[in-house]
Amino acid sequence: MRRNVLGSFGGLLMALSAATSASAGEPDPGHQDLYPHHPGDARRTLDFHFNSLQYPAWFRSTAESTLEVSWDSIAANNSNVPRYSNGGNNVGGGTIFYVSQGTSPCTGDPEWLACNPAGGRTEFAIYVRTIPSITKPTWLWWNRDSTCNDVYPGDGFPTSVCFSTRRVIAHESTHNTLTRLHNTNADDESIMQARTPTPNGSPDNWNRPNFLPCDEAAAQLEYGLADPSDDYADCFATTPGDGAKGLNTRLTITSGTSYTKCVDGTVSVRGRLALNDVAAYEDMRNTPLSGRVVRIDRKARNATSWSNGVNTAVASGASGDNWSATITSSIVGPYDYRARWFTSAGEPALNSSNEIAWSITWTTTRCPLLVQR
C-alpha cells in the first residue's frame, strides 16, 4: 500500500503524480515565475487565512510558523520568492484547509497527505489531510504531540507511521510559488519529491520546514536574491557548470587602464563585481557580489613576481560601479596592477572572477608640490 504519496500537480487537473527526472545538483525542474517578477521588483507578500478558526491550535501554529518564519529564513531561502503572511482573520488571500477527506480534493488520490490545486494565484489553497482519521487510522502528524508514538490508544486509531505537517506545507507552498512538478532529486537536495518521507526514510529532512539547496537555486533563478551579500544556493556547485563550479562571475574596471601620477599622489580605480550578465542566469543575472573582497596586486614593470594584496576593495550592493580603491606610491617608476575576486570553500556555487589590469607610472616630473630641500 502506498502510504505517503502527495497528490499535487497544480491547476492542470491531472491525476498524474509521476516524478520528473532531474540530475544531481540540478535546480528544481519545471521551475516557473508563477507570480510574475522581474529583476529589481519588490518581493510580493501573499496573505493567507485558515478556512476555520476552529482548527486545532497545534495545526494553526505549525502552519503559521512554517509559512511566516521558516519559509523566510535566509539561510535556506535567500531569494525573493513571495513570502507569506497571515492577516489574522479568516477572510482574504489564500486559504489553508485541514480536512477529513478520504480522497484528495486536487486529484482524487486516496493516498494523499496534502495538495495545492492551482499555482501562481493569490487566492491559492493548501489542503492538509486530518490524520489519524477513519480513512487513515494508522497515519499520524508528528507535529500534533511532537511524537510518532500512539499517545491516544483509546481513540480507536492504532497509529503506526507519522509525517511532518511542516514539510508538506513547505512542499505545497513551493508548488504554489515556484514549480508545479515533482522531481527525483535526493532528499538532501529538494523537498519536491512526489513521496513524503517518514522519520525512518529520511532522518535529516523528513521534518524540513523550508527549502533545500536545489529548491533555493530554482527560486533564485526565478525571483533573484533577497540579500546579494549572502549565499548562492549550493545546488549551483555543479549546474549550470560554467566552470570548476556552477556560476561565473565578472570583474570590470571603468576608470581607465593607464595613468601617470605624481609620487605620493593618488589614483582612484573603480568598477563592478557581479554575477555574469547572461540570460541563463535569469533573475540572478548581473547580481552584485556584495561584501566580497577584491584583491589588488602590484609589481614593477620589469619585475617577474607580484606583491599580492597590496590593496583591497570591498564590493557593495549598488548598481553600476560597486567597488573602488585608492592607490598611492612613494616610489618613482612604472608599475603594473592586477585585480581579481577569488572564490573559496564558503562559496561553493561561484567561480573566481576574471582578472583585470591597469598601469600607473609614478613620477616627480612636473609635480609642483615636490620641492627640493
Q: What are the beta bridge partners of residue 300?
A: 335
For residues 161 and 138, give the distance between their C-alpha atoms in angstroms, rounded to a whole number: 6
Answer whether residue 26 shows pLDDT above 90.
no
Domain 1-227 superfamily per CATH = Collagenase (Catalytic Domain) (3.40.390.10)
Least confident of 91-100, 284-293, 299-308, 333-342: 91-100
On whether the pTM is more than 0.85, the answer is yes
For residues 295 and 292, give the distance between their C-alpha atoms in angstroms, rounded to a whole number: 10
Give just the sign of the alpha carbon dihedral 19, 20, 26, 30.
Answer: negative
How much is the average pLDDT of 239-255?
80
Answer whether residue 341 shows pLDDT above 60.
yes
How much is the average pLDDT of 317-327?
96
CA dist list (Å): 294 to 4, 45, 289, 320, 353: 49, 35, 10, 16, 10
Least confident of 115-129, 158-172, 348-362: 115-129
Task: For 268-311, write each residue's pLDDT tens digit.
Answer: 999 999 999 998 899 999 999 999 999 999 999 999 999 999 99
The pLDDT, as a whole number, for residue 243 is 56
The pLDDT, as a whole number, for residue 121 is 85
The pLDDT, as a whole number, for residue 4 is 43
pLDDT tier, 41 (very low <50, low <70, confident <90, very high otherwise) = confident
Task: Give the domain ranges of the chain.
Answer: 1-227, 249-363
Residue 287: closest CA among 270, 273, 271: 273
Please state, rounded to an integer, the average pLDDT across all residues of the chain. 89
Structure-model confidence comparison of residues 169 and 19, the more confident one: 169
333: left (phi over 0), alpha (psi -120 to 50) or beta: left
Verify cis geometry, omega within 30 degrees of 0, for the bond prior to 39.
no
Residue 260: closest CA among 333, 368, 362: 362
The pLDDT, as a whole number, for residue 88 is 66
Answer whether residue 11 shows pLDDT above 50.
no
The pLDDT, as a whole number, for residue 366 is 87
Counting Cα atoms < 13 Å in the Cβ hemisphere of 295 gives 13
What is the third-level CATH fold of 249-363?
Immunoglobulin-like (2.60.40)
Instruction: Give one DSSP letter per residue of 134-147, joined into a string.
Output: SS-TTEEEGGGTT-
